[in-house]
Homo-oligomer: A and B are copies of this chain.
Amino acid sequence: MLSKNKIKLIKSLERRKFRDEAGLFVAEGPKIVTDLMAALHPVYIAAQAEVADMYGHEFFSQADEFDIVSDQELQRASFLRTPQGVVALFPIPDRHWMAPPHGLCLALDDVQDPGNLGTIIRTADWFGVEHVVCSFGTADVYAPKAVQATMGALARVRVSYADLGEVLGSARVPVYGTFLDGVSLYRQTLGTDGFIVMGNEGKGISSQVEELVSHRLFIPNYPADRPTSESLNVAVATSIILSEFRRREQQAQEGE
């Protein structure tokens, strides 16, 4: 039984203000909820009986509170057009930036769209990039739409918010960024440490951050002389760049 107060709480968490006040975020669907449970302790879970049966009532009972709910109740609590059988509340992890000792980090400079942000986190997870630092102007990764787009990757990727000028200004590793006048991604020297900066959907990388970029990249359109769109979607561009970094790394490891 899902109380009116619980539904009200869950629904309020669409807004950042209320997420910050409650220190909680919402995740939906068995895949995402179970992935997150490997990293975070759920404070509340509402599941339909069929989903609870499938994953085990004991499993969901790890939550501080656990309710079996009807279709209709779940519908009222869900942010999805097609609710996926389980809604959970998790504590928002610490969002402060701590520099990792080595490896690749993504730095997001005012990425606006929650769907793009979540997709970027999911892709970072696939390519083993465990640290994503966002400018304060970037969308909140704990917004329901962003959480759903991560597909559970938030359990394995640490997302922080910081002043990118400070973070990148004090970094002693390469800072990669994509620009229309950059060097072809396929030819640029790519390392195993550093920051990969991705910019805002409309404006790209801000001039303050651009000054801190040491390696300018460009994803070549093809054929080079064919008229095309001005740019790629930011989640798409991120994924092409991460794939190429990892391809090179694998090639180097295999001594080819």
Chain A residues close to B by CB (< 8 Å): 31, 35, 115, 119, 122-123, 125-128, 149, 151-153, 156, 186, 219-223, 226-233, 235-236, 239-240, 243-244, 246-247, 249-251
Contact = CB atoms under 8 A, between A and B. Distances in A.
A244 B220 CA distance: 11
Contacts of A222: 126-128, 246, 249-250
A221 B127 contact: yes
Contacts of A239: 232, 236, 239-240
Copies of this protein chain in the complex: 2
Contact of A156 (B153, B220, B227, B250): B227
Given A222-B246, A243-B244, A251-B186, A128 B236 contact: no
Contacts of A128: 221-223, 226, 228
Nearest to A243: B240
A200 to B, nearest CB: 14
A123 B186 contact: no
A235 B232 contact: no
Nearest to A247: B186
16 contacts: A31-B230, A119-B233, A119-B235, A122-B229, A123-B233, A123-B236, A125-B228, A126-B219, A126-B229, A128-B228, A156-B227, A232-B239, A233-B235, A239-B240, A240-B243, A243-B244
For A31, A149, A235, A247, which residue has the most chain B Cβ atoms within 10 angstroms? A247
